[in-house]
Amino acid sequence: MSETQSTQTGHASAIRVEGLNKWFGSFQVLFDINLTVENGERVVICGPSGSGKSTLIRCINALEDHQQGVIEVEGKALGHDSTSVYDVRTEVGMVFQHFNLFPHLTILENCILAPTVVRKTPRKEAEATAMHFLEKVKIPEQANKYPIQLSGGQQQRVAIARSLCMRPRVMLFDEPTSALDPEMIKEVLDTMVALAGEGMTMVCVTHEMGFARKVANRVVFMDAGAIVEVNSPDAFFTNPQNERTQAFLNQVLQH
Amino acid sequence: MNYNFSFPYIWGATPDLLDGLWMTLLISLLSIAISVVIGVVGAGLRVFQVPILSQLVAAYVNFIRSTPLLVQIFFIFFGLAEFGIRLGGFWSGILALSLWGGAYNTENVRGGLSAVDKGQREAAYSLGLRPLHYLRHVALPIGLRVSIPAMLNTAVSVLKNSSYLQAIGVAELTFVAMNRVATDFRTLEMFLAIGAMYLAIVLVLSAAVRRLEAVLQKPFRTA
């Protein structure tokens, strides 16, 4: 699973982050981050707020730039030039806390915009792909509605489908259920579990410990901008190594 | 005071006035169209903070907003002629009004674009859209909706300000009226008539823009 030398054996890791340091102005927010995610692996990143979880995954598709270190997606290095940024972004899908659907476009139009504009996919073909993924997230009947007409959970499932329409190799989730009503969390998590079952490489920042236990291959715990502990879910929840992890788990698992 | 208001006089002047009205419409609509293009491009340069061009746009907007339109018109018509650039009244007028409206539209569109939630840009970029794709397919359709009332104001001002062009001899509506007043002294008739004409075209323009606004607004209303 953690075959770090995979580059030599012919296939690259899905994500390789090495010696990543990042500053906002003079304030350092990420400290020497090393993380490799293999194809098909599901990694959950958790930790207290302000620990740099979101910033880390936002660096992976260059929504944030980084000052030091190496980020590679499918063997493509993320440089500071726009070409490498676009190359990496087309391989990486992202789902946001606040869905960020395009409000002026219908659900179907949301899903076909990037494929038709970026990949130059013919409209008919893009629509067929979009309907395929809308069916996957169990929402095809909403295709001609506008985002505002959907519930939060539905909007988030559309956001997942919209990302999948670009056929990404890796999916990043930035607290995908944090803005949802408790009742809607399940439908989004179910969608994510199904996606995991199909072998999608996933990196999820989430506080859903049940989800972490169920689908993660590894759990990464971050605190104060650094990775404190990386462990299998079982070991992470039953026998956390780090003091800070123990304190965090005591807080979040209490109820 | 004993003034004999004469409707037949207005009737007799109508062919002349319609010529002027046509010129006013032609110049105004062209200038409005160009000023919208300038506004979109200028706002795009400002919002994406394109080096150098962004500062040039800011300076241009400041310059236009801080000097009287009549001075700008004279500068383009007489001033440029000193450099051998003779545009003539018609094109000088269109250039002046377009630059004037363009400066205001730059600010109008910029306001609309900055009202677009930053999550929209992040979503677009994460899907692989380039900045221009984002501008064209996401930011403008969302942002222009916010800008439209202000842009309508600017368009109406461009239309009304086209009457300044009588000062450089463009045969638009006000020029025609002034000419007739100079020979026939039918002041009330003429200014009442052109006032009504300006009012009518502004009302039509406003109605058209409201239709456009309704179309852009449609997705944002729950059915």
Q: Which helix (H) or strand (E) holds A19?
A: strand A15-24
DSSP symbol at B135: I
CB contact under 8 A, A103 and B137: no
Q: What's the CA gap between B111 and A28, in Å, rounded? A: 33
Strand segments, DSSP code E, in chain A are 15-24, 27-37, 42-46, 68-73, 76-77, 92-95, 170-174, 201-205, 218-223, 226-231
Of A98, A148, A166, the CB nearest to B128: A166
CB contact under 8 A, A89 and B145: no
Structure tokens at A18: 């090495």
User: What is the tens place of the pLDDT at every residue in A16-32?
Assistant: 999 999 999 999 999 99
Please report the pLDDT score of residue B13 as a whole number. 87
Determine contact, residues B38/B99, Cβ cutoff 8 Å.
yes
| Range of the structural domain that residue B146 is part of | 15-220
* pLDDT band with cut points at 50, 70 and 90 for residue A8: very low
Determine contact, residues A103/A114, Cβ cutoff 8 Å.
no
The minimum CA-CA distance between A168 and chain B, rounded to whole Å, is: 9
Q: Which residues pair with A144 in a beta bridge?
A: none
B8 in any annotated domain: no
CATH of the domain at B89: 1.10.3720.10
Determine contact, residues B43/B113, Cβ cutoff 8 Å.
yes
CB contact under 8 A, A118 and B133: yes
Q: What's the CA gap between A204 and B47, in Å, rounded? A: 32
| Nearest residue of chain B to residue A167 (CA atoms) | B127
CB contact under 8 A, A96 and B223: no
Structure tokens at A111: 């899903």
Count of CB pairs separated by less than 8 Å, A with B? 81
Give the CA angle between residues B38, B41, B112 to the nearest 5°: 95
Of A86, A103, A146, the CB nearest to B128: A86
Q: Which amino acid is at B36?
A: V
The minimum CA-CA distance between B136 and chain A, rounded to whole Å, is: 11
* pTM for the whole structure: 0.87
Q: What's the CA gap between A199 and A89, in Å, rounded? A: 20
User: What is the tens place of the pLDDT at every residue in A20-66?
Assistant: 999 999 999 999 999 999 999 999 999 998 899 999 999 999 999 99
CB contact under 8 A, A103 and B220: yes
User: What is the tens place of the pLDDT at every residue in B40-84?
Assistant: 999 999 999 999 999 999 999 999 999 999 999 999 999 998 888
Q: Output the CA torsion sign for A79, A85, A89, A91.
A: negative
CB contact under 8 A, A100 and B137: no
Q: What's the CA gap between A110 and A102, in Å, rounded? A: 6
CB contact under 8 A, B129 and A118: yes
CB contact under 8 A, A117 and B145: no
The complex's ipTM works out to 0.91
B159 in any annotated domain: yes
- The structural domain count of chain B equals 1
CB contact under 8 A, B119 and A100: yes
B195 in any annotated domain: yes
DSSP symbol at A69: E
Q: What's the CA gap between A138 and B23, in Å, rounded? A: 58
CB contact under 8 A, A113 and B122: no
Q: Which helix (H) or strand (E) holds B199?
A: helix B187-217
* pLDDT band with cut points at 50, 70 and 90 for residue A173: very high
Please report the pLDDT score of residue B84 as a whole number. 86
Chain A residues in contact with B127 by the CB 8 A cut-off are 89, 93, 113-114, 118, 162-163, 166
Sequence-distant (6+) residues with CB within 8 A of B70 are B164, B167
Of A63, A101, A104, the CB nearest to B126: A63
B189 in any annotated domain: yes
B190 in any annotated domain: yes
The minimum CA-CA distance between A60 and chain B, rounded to whole Å, is: 10
Structure tokens at A127: 């629509």
Of A89, A98, A148, the CB nearest to B220: A148
Rounded mean pLDDT, B92-99: 97
Of B57-61, B194-198, B211-215, the one with minimum mean pLDDT is: B211-215
Strands A170-174 and A201-205: parallel
Chain B residues in contact with A162 by the CB 8 A cut-off are 127
Sequence-distant (6+) residues with CB within 8 A of B89 are B77, B165, B168, B169, B170
B3 in any annotated domain: no
B2 in any annotated domain: no
CB contact under 8 A, B126 and A94: yes
CB contact under 8 A, B119 and A103: no
Chain B residues in contact with A159 by the CB 8 A cut-off are 123
Chain B residues in contact with A117 by the CB 8 A cut-off are 129, 133, 137
Of A98, A101, A114, the CB nearest to B128: A114
Average pLDDT, chain A: 91
Sequence-distant (6+) residues with CB within 8 A of B88 are none
B5 in any annotated domain: no
B31 pLDDT more than 70? yes
Q: Tell me the CB-side half-sphere exposure of residue A212, using CA atoms within 13 A.
A: 27
Among residues B86, B219, B38, B156, the alpha carbon closest in space to that of A148 is found at B219
Q: Tell me the CB-side half-sphere exposure of residue A172, using CA atoms within 13 A.
A: 28
B2 pLDDT more than 80? no
The torsion angles phi and psi of A174, rounded to 5 degrees, stand at -105, 90
